[in-house]
Amino acid sequence: MPWCLLLMGLLLLLPAASGAQSAPAVRPRVEVTGSAVRVSDLFAGPLPAALKRHGDTTVFNAPMPGKERFVPGAFLARKLSLLAGAKALEITAPNRVCLVRKGQRLSDKRLLPFLEAMARTTWKGSVAVSELRVTGRRTLPLGSLALTPDTKRARVRKNRIELPVAVSVNGTSMGRLTLSGEAHIMKNVVVASVSIPKGETLSADQITLASRPVSPSGTDILTDPALAVGREATRPIASGTELTSRLVKAPPLVKRGDGVRIRYTQGGLLITATGIARETGGLGDFIKVKNSRSGKGITCRVIGQCRVEPFL
């Protein structure tokens, strides 16, 4: 009777099954959301009666949010066996148990708008912020998150912004973060439309206007094509490069040793004098000039061919 043999085999397996239930196994990976790892967190199924009354007992402090820590399984099983009534359960555990604390991480996408709002109140125009840096704890416990920027303590240095932001979860303070970044304004600037070799005089067909992010404090970038045409490239310029006053210079209208006419006007008063240029300069450049009559050196701005005006 084969069915009798099958029934006997099942009966023989019953003690083994009941024995397996009496030896609960710790999970290899334990994930928690709070600050403590409890007995109930360590097991996947229902707790045996001997452990059920210890379900809320703290076994370990949880790691920081978003972090993990490994614990030797033998040490953990031995610690559990010290609980009242748990020694007879013969608790088993893997070689290592990974304790993980779930958390929420503050992304750049969530933090960047605070800096952008600060930049818009500081500078006019279409302002963008790049190179975001965050100092402080970005991974936080799960819960209702609140971010409060402290604009009174914000610092602006040239085009760099630093903004402290207070952080809280479920109404509990989590300290603060310091956000910093580079502010840029979108402007139409003069760029090279072709590659330009060093020493070449720029023409109108070699330059164009393009919208580019520039520093709010940047004053050497050319925004008027007329200021670039006729100037010389001080170094090789690649196509698409933004032109600055350092990349191009005006052709010299005054050379060192030239005699120049010094012209000074104030209201309806016009005073002229002669002098000797001590430096070479182009239109708008500031050079040193020696007054022929007094012999004193003065700083002048080049306004034309061998013509200057004193910079007072």
Chain segment 118-147, per-residue pLDDT in tens: 988 888 778 888 889 999 989 898 899 999
Which domain CATH number covers 133? 3.10.129.10
Which domain CATH number covers 280? 2.30.30.760
The answer to whether 143 and 170 have CB atoms below 8 angstroms apart is yes
Q: What is residue 19's predicted lDDT score, i.e. its pLDDT?
A: 42
N-terminal to C-terminal alpha carbon distance within the chain: 122
Q: Same domain for 23 and 98? A: yes
User: Where is the domain boundary, 102, 120, 138?
Assistant: 102
Residue range(s) defining the domain that contains residue 168:
108-184
Q: Same domain for 62 and 50? A: yes
Does the predicted TM-score (pTM) go above 0.85? no
Q: What is residue 6's predicted lDDT score, i.e. its pLDDT?
A: 54
Tell me the mean pLDDT in the region 218-244: 86
Confidence of residue 190 (pLDDT cuts 50, 70, 90): very high
More confident residue, 251 or 6: 251
Helix (H, G, I), strand (E, B) or coil at 124: coil
Distance CA 42, CA 63 (A): 15
Number of domains the chain is built from = 4
4 falls within a domain:
no
Chain segment 154-187, per-residue pLDDT in tens: 998 888 999 999 999 999 999 999 999 998 888 8
pLDDT > 90 fraction of the chain, expressed in percent and rounded: 49
Decide if pLDDT at 90 tops 90.
Answer: no
Using CB atoms within 10 Å of the CB of residue 82, give its burial: 0 to 12 exposed, 13 to 18 middle, 19+ buried: exposed
